Amino acid sequence: MSLVAHQLALQTSTRTLVDSLDLALEPGEVLGILGANGAGKSTLLNVLAGLAIPASGRVTLDGHALATMPPLTRAQHIGLLPQGDEGGFFGSVADFVALGHFPFGGPAPDLAPHLASWELTDLARRPLDTLSGGERQRARLAQLAVQAPRIALLDEPLTHLDPAHQAKLLAWARGEADARHSVVLTLHDPNWAACHCDRLLFLYGDGRWQLDTPAELLTPDALEALYGPGTAALWQQGGRGEPV
Amino acid sequence: MAAPAAIALGLMAGTLPADRELALQILTELRGPRVAAAFACGGLLALAGALMQTLFRNPLAEPYLLGVSGGAGLLALLGMAAGLAWPWISLLAFAGSLLALALAAALGGRLLARDHTPLLLAGVMLAAGFGALIALVLSVTPAERLPGMLFFLMGDLAWTSQPALLWAALLLAVAAALALSRRLDVLQLAPLKAASLGVAVAPTRWMLFALAGACTSLVVAQAGSIGFVGLMVPHALRKLGFAGHRALLPACALAGGSLLVLADALARTVIEPRELPVGVLTAMLGVPMMLWLLRKP
């Protein structure tokens, strides 16, 4: 038992995005969340991270309510890669990556392997704000790797990454799963989802949701239902649940 | 290293009478306290600037961003217009800065856990409003009262009467800021990311707001609105490679203190026996230094 959502409801001021969601995250799985823009993917990640309060329902970590857990304790187990900028950070790439160690206190760990694994070694002393978008995304991922949470929640982690680094991200996610950690990511690429996720969660943005394996969920018709008419072409080349 | 040199220079600057006893008296009773007050004011302002830059995640933030100088200036000028003497002016200035901070917090502080923009907007609006009211007071004041008002608005250390209080505040503020320093490093990240790393974003931001506000209010009540130290010093130190708050914050206190001691020494001596408002000198020293730093890649 690890991270469990009980009867979650997510709402905006005007409508219900997700209703009565039950989700038990298994150790060792990679879960992909798919849905149209504004369907509630990021909101759900924030709720699972304990950083936003659901309209109803609750989230527990090993049976303890996330809402009442001390922030530092929570941060030792759950990591979030939000979308968005790091403007306002004045330090170097190495300083930035080292912040992942904050929840644990004490002296910073050896950053070299993390910097190397995200190909940041040569950039380590550069100010973060001089990096390209993709390089900065790698720095964010390296920071998360330093935090080494057993529940990693990633909001559109593929953003800005070139194919080689997308592959690197895939390898990292699978490595985390092999270490009995759980990885949740939101993404917009059904092919990637089919190849690399153990389970998928479809959010329809009107309260409905579906949770199953890619083989069961991913069909051209299902994509049209999720994203709207004309989107089945995204999937045309692939078979049912098969990568393109 | 620069700090003791600046203090020594500050003590030596200016003429001394030939009579040893009188010279010693001037050094210990007039110039010494003034140099001490200048150092503490500069340190407090630079520290407050660094804290504000972290609070707003913006290198252009500075201690007076939220209308502190406007609130202090308005009440101090009203006091001067009513003919009140210095300790009352100081108290009025302090009350005015707290009023500005309280208004900014009440009007813009609601969403501070996620978004600092409302607080920023409220502060900038308040500063503009106070600015207009200050202009109004200046325009209806008899001419003979204007120089004192202008010196207050530009910042002037001649009034400072409490160097011990300022030093105690500086030491306390540096200690408090250092205790927060690791959290402040994380707070430079987007609020959601900082929260996910275990920082309680809203309470920490309020602590920053209170600490920066207290430092600034105290200086304004003692020396008026000395400009530029709080913007330039932290910005320049970050440019020079002080990134982590553990090093940056004490460095700000030392460099801000040194800069203000030097500026005040010049303000006292450039057109001796008359004095210039020190705020004029901080900008005249600071602007070229800053422009030179900005040229560096």
Select from A81, A97, A102 the residue whose CB has the most chain B CBs within 10 Å, as the one to mutate to test that interface: A102
| Contact call for B185 and A87, based on CB within 8 A | no
φ and ψ at A201, to 5 degrees?
-120, 120
| Sequence ranges of the domains in chain B | 39-53+61-295
Q: What is the pLDDT of residue B240?
A: 84
| Contact call for B238 and A100, based on CB within 8 A | no
Summarised one tens digit per residue, pLDDT across range A110-156 is 999 999 999 999 999 999 988 999 999 999 999 999 999 999 999 99
Nearest C-alpha in B relative to A149: B197
| Contact call for B238 and A90, based on CB within 8 A | yes
Per the CB < 8 A criterion, the answer to whether A101 and A108 are in contact is yes
Neighbouring residues of B178: CB distance < 8 A, sequence distance ≥ 6? B245, B246, B249, B250
CA–CA distances in Å: residue A197 to residues A48, A187, A214, A227, A241 = 18, 11, 7, 19, 11
Alpha-carbon gap, residue B237 to B255, rounded angstroms: 9
What is the 3 state secondary structure string of chain A?
A: CCEEEEEEEEECCCCEEEEEEEEECCCCCEEEEEECCCCCHHHHHHHHCCCCCCCEEEEEECCEEHHHCCHHHHHHHEEEECCCCCCCCCCEHHHHHHHHHHHHCCCCCCCHHHHHHCCCHHHCCCEHHHCCHHHHHHHHHHHHHHHCCCEEEEECCCCCCCHHHHHHHHHHHHHHHHCCCEEEEECCCHHHHHHHCCEEEEECCCECEEEECHHHHCCHHHHHHHHCCCHHHHHCCCCCCCCC
Q: Is B195 touching A (CB cutoff 8 A)?
A: yes
Per-residue model confidence as pLDDT tens for chain A (244 residues): 589 999 999 998 889 999 999 999 999 999 999 999 999 999 999 999 999 999 999 999 999 999 899 999 999 999 999 987 666 788 899 999 999 999 998 888 899 999 999 999 999 999 998 899 999 999 999 999 999 999 999 999 998 899 899 989 988 999 999 999 999 999 988 888 888 899 999 999 999 999 999 888 888 888 888 988 888 776 655 544 454 4
Q: What is the pLDDT of residue B231?
A: 92
Residues in B closer than 8 angstroms to A82, CB to CB, are 190, 192-193, 196
Q: Is A229 touching B (CB cutoff 8 A)?
A: no
Mean pLDDT of chain A: 90
| Sequence ranges of the domains in chain A | 3-89+149-235
Only one residue has tokens 């993390």, namely A114
| Whether the predicted interface score ipTM is above 0.85 | yes
Q: What is the pLDDT of residue A216?
A: 87
Number of neighbours of residue B20 by Cβ within 10 angstroms: 9
CATH fold label, A3-89+149-235: Rossmann fold (3.40.50)
pTM here is 0.90
How large is the greatest C-alpha to C-alpha distance in chain A, in angstroms?
Answer: 54
Alpha-carbon gap, residue B182 to A213, rounded angstroms: 42
Per-residue model confidence as pLDDT tens for chain B (297 residues): 567 777 777 777 776 777 778 787 777 778 888 999 999 999 999 999 999 999 999 888 999 998 999 999 999 999 998 888 888 999 999 999 999 999 999 998 887 888 888 999 999 999 999 999 999 999 998 888 888 888 888 888 887 778 899 999 999 999 999 999 999 999 999 999 999 999 999 999 999 999 999 999 999 999 888 988 999 999 889 888 888 999 999 999 999 999 999 999 888 888 877 888 888 888 888 888 888 877 865
Residues in A closer than 8 angstroms to B56, CB to CB, are 88
Number of neighbours of residue B21 by Cβ within 10 angstroms: 8
CATH fold label, B39-53+61-295: ABC transporter involved in vitamin B12 uptake, BtuC (1.10.3470)
Q: Is B192 touching A (CB cutoff 8 A)?
A: yes
